[in-house]
Structure 1
Amino acid sequence: MSTKDGRDTRARDIFGAFLRLGLTAFGGPIAHIGYLRHEFVTRRGWLDEVRFARLLALCQFLPGPASSQLGFAIGLHRAGLRGALAAFAGFTLPSALLMLAFAWLAPRLDGGPGSAAIHGLKLVAVAVVAHGVLGMARTLLPDARHALVAVLAAALVLVVASPWMQLGVVAIGAVLGWLMLRPSARPANAPDNSVAPGGARLAALAFAALLAVAFLVPVSGGPSLVAIGAAFVRAGALVFGGGHVVLPLLEASMVAPGWLDADTFLAGYGAAQAVPGPMFTLSAYLGAQVGGPVGALVALLGIFLPGFLLLWAVLPSWDRVAAMPRARRAVAGVNAAVVGLLAAALVDPLWMQGVGDWRDAVIAAVGFTILLAGRAPLWTVAWCVLASVGVGLAVA
């Protein structure tokens, strides 16, 4: 057990909680935010809605994998560096191992029970994200102006089909919040002191040094371990929005120099859509293709490390900035925009790609109702949905 501030939470408990999400969190980075909120705000109470929203706003602003950074920050909040590393390992390990085993698993996932399971977990993601949208809207959209920012954000993301629009609506939300929203109440919880100022400065220096070395390594040439690490560091440090936005950077690093052919690259991208956890674990597959198991590890660490270092460097200052009235207005706008982002993700791709007919809609609605009642854990919802999909296939 842990105290209310969670400072005595064991790393193995954090690892177990994130491992469960790493095994079941389908739906992409925006959907993962819904899973993280349900697990650590609603179910476990490891942090309150205000801190979750502040951490989420920071992760949306920084380059790197937003959902993985958010998990890293939650682990850091609970148990310092050990908790952050446990959160990263638990959330990332399942999909990384699956991507390494893709060549053997792909035929078995082509039709039959494998496809049914993936389809069912997509419906779980629909239910979880719908529940997350409702819960965050209740807390983060206290009046019509906040709701207007959320609606505008959702509309822009749905109309302008560009991954960069996600970053754009976050910036628009900050500007609109600063101009038109009332400042949110000063956070009642104490600032997060899990990162000391000295540690933050060291993280900033490490990030700058890592990026400088990565850009000094020639882009051309063979896929040595140093070149692999540099390529994935550059991708992890420069991508805003995470998820699919990283694909052009990785393709330029892997296909253009002739390390991989386009078909092999796209096969890995397709597999990344079929596994739970962060899509950045595509790096494990790509690294293994050009450098074996060691190459996979180098690529995996290379793509995640810059975002984690930058988060560690900025987190103490972010808490101080978030306490300022003008900054709180901007953060309130960002939070409203994030609700809109989550709502847009619920429509497309989750609903559009996950719900095929009225039976899928009913199954997703039942899962949402179970979550709304608050009487069943997420794994129970997942098994109910998978059983419903299995029965539906059996009688089809």
Structure 2
Amino acid sequence: MSDTTTPPLTDRPGPIFAAFLRLGLTAFGGPIAHLESFRREFVERRGWISAQAYGDLVALCQFLPGPASSQVGMGLGLVRGGLPGAFAAWLGFTLPSALAMAAFALLLTHVGGLTHGGWLHGLKLVAVAVVAQALWGMGRSLCHDRTRASLAVAAAVLAAVVPGVAGQLAVIVLGAVVGRWLIRAPLEAVHAPLQLTLQRRSAWMLLGAFGVLLVGLPVLAASAQQPTLSLLAGFYRAGALVFGGGHVVLPLLQAQVVPGGMDNATFLAGYGAAQAVPGPLFTFAAFLGAASAQGPGGWVGATVALLAIFLPGFLLVAGALPLWNALRSHPALRSALMGINAAVVGLLLAAFYDPVWTAAIHTPRDFALALAALLLLQIWKAPPWAVVLGGAAIMGVLG
């Protein structure tokens, strides 16, 4: 009989941080590539967790809001070293790209004219290809029947007609309701539980903290009228309501920072640059926090935005992991989550049109370069960072 449990906790936060820091410096390619890197490093090479237990962890994080690959890393750290281990894993994997994105934001804000160069337009065009690739992949995996495909289209229309946070919340509610009543979740095999030191009582407290912050931070920010609190509340909400990965956070973040004074050119420059660095796409928040006119800006703003956007995912994975074996046995819950996953494909489709497409594609030449970038990413499997740098260089020369 194969081993489906995890070995006893042996690591302090330091070794966990070091292991994930190495991946944070080298993990290009997006969430799928990140998950494969985790599997090779921590299942095959280090033996921190069994293959079956790793599959269970990935399944949980795919169902939860937030950045799935980062949450898998947090879960691995939690299994290995408890809550300190989870934080160490997140910090190691996130720190390199977060520092790079914050530094890029400070460069843009302190060097005049950078946001109007041809290289910036190249980043926008590659962003079109990156989001199109994400949309295609998510559509194939999450909307492969008529019900879910129709749900995705309806969600896209709703998000376009009702812009902003209200539309995004309505899309998530629509997905949950349709999924609950019209989508039948497949039966799940029963797996052996992970060995965790975190008890169920602590897990429920973490989930409670997630809910209290989601409801309480906007109320506190509105009453206090304090820019840093508003920044914290907005980025926490974005991290808490995103199903489907980093690309889907785009409209939530745009609704947060663009009305607050950031122009679309700067926003999309950061989004394009996020494709060229290793690690999680959610470190785009560090760029936005550093460059935003709302809040303290600079390194303080980057830190606030980064912690705020990742905190919901941390609370959810640490709270849900001890309860996962019981939760996954409820077909109604899994059906609702499948509906939400299909609805966020529609949310991404709406975001693909506006602001990604409308801000980038203006001429036949723009369309041609974006199409070429998509060909390189989707068919030739070129590294995203190389395509990003190539697109910026070409448009920098062409102007």
Do these two structures clear the TM 0.5 threshold for a shared fold by scoring above it?
yes
What is the one-letter code of the residue matched to 1:148?
S
Quickly say closer, same or farther: Cα 1:274–1:179, change in 2 above 3 A: same
C-alpha deviation, 1:172, in angstroms: 0.6
- The answer to whether structure 1 residue 389 and structure 2 residue 398 are counterparts is no
- The answer to whether structure 1 residue 89 and structure 2 residue 95 are counterparts is yes
Quickly say closer, same or farther: Cα 1:45–1:362, change in 2 above 3 A: farther
TM-score (norm 2): 0.67
Q: Equivalent residue for 2:312?
A: 307
- The answer to whether structure 1 residue 173 and structure 2 residue 168 are counterparts is no
The answer (yes or no) to whether the contact 1:125–1:350 under 8 Å persists in 2 is yes
Residue identity (%)? 25
Q: Equivalent residue for 1:324?
A: 330
- The answer to whether structure 1 residue 274 and structure 2 residue 285 are counterparts is no
The answer (yes or no) to whether the contact 2:122–2:391 under 8 Å persists in 1 is yes
Q: How does 1:31-50 map to 2 (within 5 A)?
A: 36-37=30-31, 39-40=33-34
Q: In structure 2, what is the Cα distance between the partners aligned to 1:49 and 1:124?
A: 32
What is the one-letter code of the residue matched to 2:342?
A
Quickly say closer, same or farther: Cα 1:187–1:235, change in 2 above 3 A: farther
Q: In structure 2, what is the Cα distance between the partners aligned to 1:368 and 1:306?
A: 32
The answer (yes or no) to whether the contact 1:215–1:230 under 8 Å persists in 2 is no
What is the one-letter code of the residue matched to 1:10?
A
Q: In structure 2, what is the Cα distance between the partners aligned to 1:320 and 1:209?
A: 23
Q: Which runs of 5 or more residues in structure 1 are unaligned?
A: 21-34, 60-65, 222-226, 252-261
Given the alignment, which residue of 18, 24, 34 partners 1:15? Answer: 24
Quickly say closer, same or farther: Cα 1:11–1:364, change in 2 above 3 A: same
The number of residues matched between the two structures is: 344
Residue 64 of structure 2: SS of its match in structure 1? Answer: helix
Q: Equivalent residue for 1:76?
A: 74
Q: In structure 2, what is the Cα distance between the partners aligned to 1:209 and 1:117?
A: 43
Partner deviation per Cα, 1:195-218 (whole Å, 9 max, x = no partner):
834663564576689898998999
Q: How does 1:345-356 map to 2 (within 5 A)?
A: 345-356=351-362
C-alpha deviation, 1:185, in angstroms: 5.0
Q: Equivalent residue for 1:373?
A: 379
Q: How does 1:247-262 map to 2 (within 5 A)?
A: none
Q: Which runs of 5 or more residues in structure 2 are unaligned?
A: 8-15, 41-50, 79-85, 242-248, 275-282
C-alpha deviation, 1:165, in angstroms: 1.0
TM-score (norm 1): 0.68
Q: Equivalent residue for 1:358?
A: 364
Given the alignment, which residue of 165, 177, 200 partners 2:203? Answer: 200
What is the one-letter code of the residue matched to 1:36?
G
C-alpha deviation, 1:314, in angstroms: 3.6
The answer (yes or no) to whether the contact 1:100–1:288 under 8 Å persists in 2 is no
C-alpha deviation, 1:149, in angstroms: 0.8
- The answer to whether structure 1 residue 157 and structure 2 residue 159 are counterparts is yes
Quickly say closer, same or farther: Cα 1:331–1:50, change in 2 above 3 A: farther
The answer (yes or no) to whether the contact 1:233–1:305 under 8 Å persists in 2 is no
C-alpha deviation, 1:170, in angstroms: 1.3
